[in-house]
Structure 1
Amino acid sequence: MPEPVSLAPDAEEASETQRVVDDASETLATTPEGPDADPAALAVAGVMGPDGVLELPGAETVKAPVARWFAVQVASSCEKKVKATLEQRAVTLGVDNRILEIEIPQTPGVKIKKDGSRQSIEEKVFPGYVLVRMVLDEDTMMAVRSTPNVINFVGQEERRATGKARGHIKPRPLSRTEVDRIFKRAAEKKPVLKVDLAEGDQILVTAGPFKDFQGEVIEVSGERSKLKALLSIFGRETPVELEFSQISKQS
């Protein structure tokens, strides 16, 4: 009678598989995750394939959690408040190991006050939004969404199965290209010059071809850091466009 065939794995083979799993787990524990992780190092270690999927010989394929950047819409002028509150809540709720960074892309600027003095400011590149690098799961989503002054993630609206009510927003991670573009824009954007002026204010031109002329503001263009003023040139009121940096406000 032929001997029965055993379906149990060979003890030595099972031991080898367990060793591979243990080694892979140790590698993952000491390897940085998220966008800063080195895929080549993971591939060499034999734990991640070229598509970013965790591969363990003799074990089921598992996807390792990866931190991604997400855009979050917040109430007007509440960006800094949301950043500070969410950082604290992440620690309190025990998700600070998955909510890793909270950024408000900004560029430096200068504000000219009514008395002519200058104040250094930070101008937001995308007012009304903060960027969060996080591992997306139920706990981290709830931590973000329940933070005061947070409106919602930027993403795709998912309709409810029944009824006409709006569905919830499915967060959409930013692509590497989008993230690079946002931070590059913040780094390269020219310093913003803002001035505390309004139509009817009296100004003195301090630089340029009309230096020492006085006039009245008739239009302010904050986006262009310019204004139009009526200057008395040869006895006639003449509209002239000036840079914010070329004028000071008269008391």
Structure 2
Amino acid sequence: MEEQSNEALWYVVHTYSGYENKVATDLQTMVENRRLQDLICDIKVPTEMVPEIKDGKERMVEHKLFPGYVLVKMVMNDDTWYVVRNTRGCTGFVGPASKPVPLTAEEVEKMGVEKAAPLTVDFNVGDTVQITAGPLEGFMGLVEGIDTESFKVKLKVNMFGRETPAEVDIAQVELP
């Protein structure tokens, strides 16, 4: 396996079922012992909190989103491949014929593995903005709400003498 790139990408590692946390901690220990922190940057076992009712009482329980898998952000080369592949409980990388295939940026975003940097906008609720793209391009609108998680802006746009509610992407508006 030749050196693929110097950029750390997310890879999916298959593990024995129920060994995800053990593989993650063993791999983290190996990375620290071999001083590979600059090559193997992050190791995650994605989980979510789910309400569960037991004995008539509701409580929050942590569930693995992808049982049998661990996500590893790493620079792929012979050394890092060997360290991950030979971790106890790891059965290999996800990809054809054990050739690791990195996750795409879209997959990483959809899986919620990495949180995007918080978005900053240069306008506030109550400001008048110009719509620069999309079907409402050229119209002015009054900002009624900003949703930085979905990257949307709620506007009141004056069209044909009427106030019309509209929702557009944050990238499609700017201060005039």
Does 1:147 find its partner at 2:76?
Answer: no
1:50 is matched with which residue?
none
Cα distance per residue 1:189-222 (max 9 Å; x no partner): xxxxxxxxxxxxxxxxxxxxxxxxxxxxxxxxxx
Cα distance per residue 1:84-115 (max 9 Å; x no partner): 111111111221221100111221112222x3
4+ runs deviating over 6 angstroms? none
1:84 is matched with which residue?
25
1: CA distance, partners of 2:84 / 2:101: 14
Q: Bigger radius of gyration, 1 or 2?
A: 1
2: CA distance, partners of 1:64 / 1:173: 11
**Equivalent residue in structure 1 for 2:102, among 169, 173, 180:** 173
In structure 1, give the amino acid aligned to 2:65: V
CA-based RMSD of the aligned residues comes to 1.7
**Mapping for residues 39-50 of structure 1, pairs under 5 Å:** none
Give the TM-score, by structure 2 length.
0.58
1:74 is matched with which residue?
15
Shift of 1:170: 0.9
1:105 is matched with which residue?
46
**Equivalent residue in structure 2 for 1:182, among 82, 89, 111:** 111
**Equivalent residue in structure 2 for 1:122, among 59, 62, 69:** 62
SS of 2:49's partner is strand
1:133 is matched with which residue?
73
Count of residues in correspondence between the two structures: 110
Q: Is the contact between residue 93 and residue 143 of structure 1 (CA under 8 Å) also seen in structure 2?
A: no
Q: Report percent identity of matched pairs.
A: 36
Shift of 1:64: 6.3
Q: Is the contact between residue 95 and residue 139 of structure 1 (CA under 8 Å) also seen in structure 2?
A: no
Shift of 1:116: 2.3
2: CA distance, partners of 1:182 / 1:77: 20
1: CA distance, partners of 2:84 / 2:5: 22
Q: Determine which structure has the larger helix proportion and give its number.
A: 1
Give the TM-score, by structure 1 length.
0.42
1:245 is matched with which residue?
none
SS of 1:172's partner is coil
Q: Flag the structure with more relative contact order, 1 or 2, with Cα contacts below 8 A and sequence separation at least 6.
A: 2
Structure 1: gaps of 5 or more residues: 1-62, 158-168, 185-251
1:188 is matched with which residue?
none
